[in-house]
Amino acid sequence: MMRANEAQTDPGSVRLRTLEILQQVTGDADVLTDPDLQLYGSGLLDSLATVSLIVAFEDAFGLVISPAEFDREAWATPQMLVADIERRLSEGAAA
């Protein structure tokens, strides 16, 4: 049985879960359908929402995301955010 914080590692499930978390934090369904939506430029994400995302991704995927390492540009759009989470997961698996 998979625990809540043990993410499935196939790209489809990671992408879906990442976008679901993003929608929960932003409250905007457009993040599911517009991969190029400007998250910070549109005001959907701010510093508080970013912290909420970090905590949610740590819980969902078992990641450790240091605010000091956080790159806002890497999370500028839903597509970029998904790519960053997938990269972090693959680096963690390779470590």
Can you give the residue ranges of every domain in the chain? 11-94
Q: What is the CA radius of gyration of the chain?
A: 13
pTM: 0.85
b vs e for 4-28, b when ≥16 Cβ sit within 10 Å of the residue's Cβ? Answer: eeebeeeeeebbebbbebbeebbee
Residue with tokens 């970029």: 80
- DSSP one-letter code for 5: T
Quickly name the fold that domain 11-94 has.
1.10.1200
Cα 89 from chain centre: 11
- Round the average pLDDT of the chain to a whole number and report it: 88
In tens, the pLDDT along 37-54 reads 999 999 999 999 999 999
Residues of the chain with pLDDT under 70: 1-9, 11, 93-95
